[in-house]
Amino acid sequence: MSATDRTAPIVELRGIRKSFGELEVLRGIDLEIFAGEHVVIFGPSGSGKSTVLRSINLLEPPTSGSLKVAGVEYGPGVPGEKAGRRGKPLELRRTVGMVFQQFNLFPHLTALDNVALPLRSVRGVRRADAQVRSAEALRRVGLLQRAAHYPQQLSGGQQQRVAIARALALDPKVMLFDEPTSALDPELVGEVLKTMREVAETGMTMVVVTHELSFAREIGDLNVFMEDGVVVDSGPRGFFEETTSPRAREFIMAVR
């Protein structure tokens, strides 16, 4: 169990809706995430899990609804409410880190430079300092010895750990993980989960979309089951055993 600060949510979604053309894929999402909390989002394919994550850092700007991160409003607003001042996406993304299913390392850069590039361009860290900080970030995920390697010289698990180091090096307040182990060979899943567990232990606020329900049971302070663009049911630890939603129970049985 992690120490969570429950005074004010660090991420707050209210009535988040998202349409792609005619298709409405998020149909009103409400979610409160407190600092230090580890949130698991799960549900069938196409239910909108990725879209929820991607709206938190505005990779997919919501069509309507309120998105507050660290007290600043970034969403287009809830219909009927007066729209206040809105923060810039660039600022938001400097507070929120993201790890992708496909790793998305920059293939033309070494592991070290993958971490150093955003440090330099986002935080304005000078080259030499950025290299030291990047090396430290790689050490944290156990990959210091691979600093000079290019992504294609690394296994999938190692690439994903570099991606985690790259996001962590920027000192985000919140980390988003979109199915971080789904593209990995089964024998490589463990090392990435281990790294994520270590990140969780530092008290980082995490939102994790995953089908690894045993991992979810282990870290989930708040567990959210989604289907068809809505949150069907959610709950604290023990959710996987205690949920009363038939759909959630069915899904949990099927995944296991």
Partner 1 sequence: MYDWGLIWQHHGILVNGLLVAFKVSLFALVISVVGGLALAMMRMSRPPVSWIAVAYINIFRGVPALVSVIWVYFGVSLLLGVDFSVFEAGVIALSLLYSAFMAEIFRSALSAIPNGHREAGHALGMRPIRVFFSVILPQAVKIALPNIGSMFIGMLKDTSTFTVIGLLEVVRVTQNLVSQTFQPFVLYTAAAAIYVIAAFLIDLVFRLIEGAYASPPRGAVSRLLRSRRQRRIQSLMAELGS
Ligand X SMILES: Nc1ncnc2c1ncn2[C@@H]1O[C@H](COP(=O)(O)OP(=O)(O)OP(=O)(O)O)[C@@H](O)[C@H]1O
Binding-site partner at residue 213 among Mg ion, partner 1, ligand X, none, CB < 5 to 8 Å by type: none
For residue 200, the minimal CB distance to Mg ion (Å) is 21
- The side-by-side arrangement of strands in the sheet containing 205-209 is 96-99, 174-178, 205-209, 38-42, 222-227, 230-235
66: its two tokens: 């309120």
Binding-site partner at residue 135 among Mg ion, partner 1, ligand X, none, CB < 5 to 8 Å by type: partner 1
From residue 119, how far is each of 98, 114, 135, 169 by CA, in Å?
A: 15, 9, 12, 7
Burial class (CB in 10 A: 0-12, 13-18, 19+), 150: middle
For residue 41, the minimal CB distance to partner 1 (Å) is 17
- # residues contacting ligand X (CB under 6 A): 10
Site string for ligand X, 41-60 (x = CB under 6 A): ----xxxxxxx---------
Which of 50, 110, 114, 160 is close enough to bind Mg ion by CB under 5 A?
A: 50
User: Is residue 49 helix, strand or coil?
Assistant: helix
* Amino acid (1-letter code) at residue 211: H
The alpha carbon torsion through 208, 198, 168, 155 (nearest 10 deg) reads: -80
User: Residue 1: which of 245, 203, 206, 247 has the closest Cα?
Assistant: 203
Cβ closest to partner 1, residue 68 vs residue 93: 93
Site string for partner 1, 20-59 (x = CB under 8 A): -------------------------------------x-x
For residue 93, the minimal CB distance to partner 1 (Å) is 4
For residue 172, the minimal CB distance to partner 1 (Å) is 9
- Distance (Å, rounded) from C-alpha 147 to C-alpha 138? 7
By CB under 8 A, name the binding residues for partner 1.
Answer: 57, 59, 90, 93-94, 96-98, 100, 102, 104-110, 112, 117-118, 121-122, 131-132, 135-136, 139, 144-145, 147-153, 163, 166-167, 170
